Structure 1
Amino acid sequence: MPNYIPVFYGSYRTDRMGIRLARYIVAQLQARGDEAELIDAQAVGLPMLDRMFKEYAPGDAPEAMAELAGKIRRADAFILVTGEYNWGMQPGLKNLTDHFLEEWFWRPAAIASYSAGRLGGARANSAWHATLAEMGMVVISSTLTVGSIGQSLDADAQPVGDGGKALERGFPRFADDLAWWTEATKAQRERRAPPY
């Protein structure tokens, strides 16, 4: 049975380039046999956080929020694709993730970041580690950082130039690391129920 891995993306910008990286990752996971799905925060359209999903009475949460809660609960692992805004996280992605908590627990997460510059969103990538751990996920050590995003992936999410070559070299280890942790956490959940 294939692993279900949602790939979360959070930019709301008009000329967003990171969507290319999110689409690349989804296609690569699917080629490996995983069931991967792009979750675009802009398309989901959750409001700024007022109430978390768990704070609604059963059946009262907005439909998009309830549907996404089901996908998060069903997931075997998660990938977050993040840009870097002023050394920090994208607000759209952070807002989407903050609507949920227990739904994330006991699964691994991986982080891929990008930027227009040469650092590839490394500071946002690093900032997400502590946040995802607090949200109950095991964050794998392998990460992807893609600098000069507009020159590393074309409009069809195909790798180009030196940045694209680096991405193609780095992705297999990133995916293998996530697959190992996905198998480990699935096996443990089958063997023993989480303590909370």
Structure 2
Amino acid sequence: MTILVFYGSYRSDRLGIRLADFVTQGFRARGEDVELIDARAVGLPMLDRMYKEYPKGQAPERLETLAGKLRDADGFVFITGEYNWGMQPGLKNLTDHFLEEWFWRPAAIASYSAGRLSGAHAATAWHGTLCEMGMVVVSSTLAIGPIAQTLSENAEPIGEAGKALALAFPRFADDLKWWIEAAKAQRAKRAPPY
């Protein structure tokens, strides 16, 4: 099972990377093949042309590489902070470069904020967006806030909020794994209709 974890903050002081690292390490500890895709590190320009709009073999190397990773992945996790009740533009820009590459695979959402609302507005916005992009969004979510009081700089759970996160992660991971297995079995049984 191959899982891609997406993180999208471009800020210089990024607290959400703690959650991205925690989730990545958590899946790795369960024996899953997992990779963190950091939108800032990928560095795609603002969307002008989607991957599919380039003639075959002429897409920029960053797009071609990421498209291959998306096609090979079995499931996705989106780590999202909340900006003014909405989603982070860096992560949204990365996702919008692709479409068919997302189809027929499950996605899970883990949100965070510096405050007590835990990125709930961003998670809600992402749910509809990911469904529209052809993914099945699993019902289990992680919502972390305040993140600095939940995860240390080394992505280790701290305090009562950290304990709650550590207890919630197995269900989150199990839910995504179940949907990944179901989607793989269905794709093997019958090709997607488009």
Instruction: Give TM-score scaled by structure 1 length.
Output: 0.98
- Aligned 1:137-156 pairs, distance under 5 A: 137-156=135-154
- In structure 2, the partner of 1:42 is 40
Instruction: Give the % identical residues.
Output: 70
Structural mapping, 1:25-104, within 5 Å: 25-104=23-102
User: Is 1:10 matched up with 2:22?
Assistant: no
Structure-2 separation of matches of 1:175 and 1:9: 17
Q: Which amino acid aligns with 2:112?
A: Y
Shift of 1:33: 1.0
Q: Structure 1 CA distance, aligned partners of 2:12 and 2:150?
A: 19
Write out aligned runs for 1:110-125 (5 A): 110-125=108-123
Q: How many residues align?
A: 194
> Distance between the aligned counterparts of 1:104 and 1:174, measured in 2?
20
Q: Which amino acid aligns with 2:105?
A: R
Greater than 2 Å deviation, 4+ residue runs: none
Shift of residue 70 of structure 1? 0.4
| Counterpart AA for 1:97 | T
After TM superposition, give the deviation of residue 168 of structure 1 in Å: 0.4
State the 1:194 CA deviation: 0.5
SS in 2 for 1:6: strand
Shift of residue 151, structure 1, vs aligned partner: 1.6
Out of 175, 178, 193, the residue aligned to residue 177 of structure 1 is 175
Residue 37 of structure 2 aligns to a residue in which SS? Answer: strand
* Residues 111-153 of structure 1: per-residue CA shift (max 9 Å, x gap): 0000000111011001111100000000001100000111211
Tell me what 2:185 maps to.
187
Residue 131 of structure 2: aligned partner: 133
Unpaired runs of 5+ in structure 1?
none
Q: Which blocks of at least 5 consecutive residues in structure 2 are unaligned?
A: none
Residue 130 of structure 1 aligns to a residue whose secondary structure is helix
Instruction: Give per-residue Cα distances to partners, 1:7-59, cap 9 Å, x unaligned.
Output: 00000001010001001101000111110100000000000000000000112
Corresponding residue of 1:164? 162
**What is the DSSP-based 3-state SS (H/G/I as helix, E as strand, rest coil) of the residue aligned with 2:140?**
strand
C-alpha distance in 2, partners of 1:195/1:71? Answer: 22
Provide TM-score, normalisation by structure 2. 0.99
CA distance in 1, matches of 2:64, 2:8: 18
Instruction: Give 1:163 deviation, angstroms.
Output: 1.4
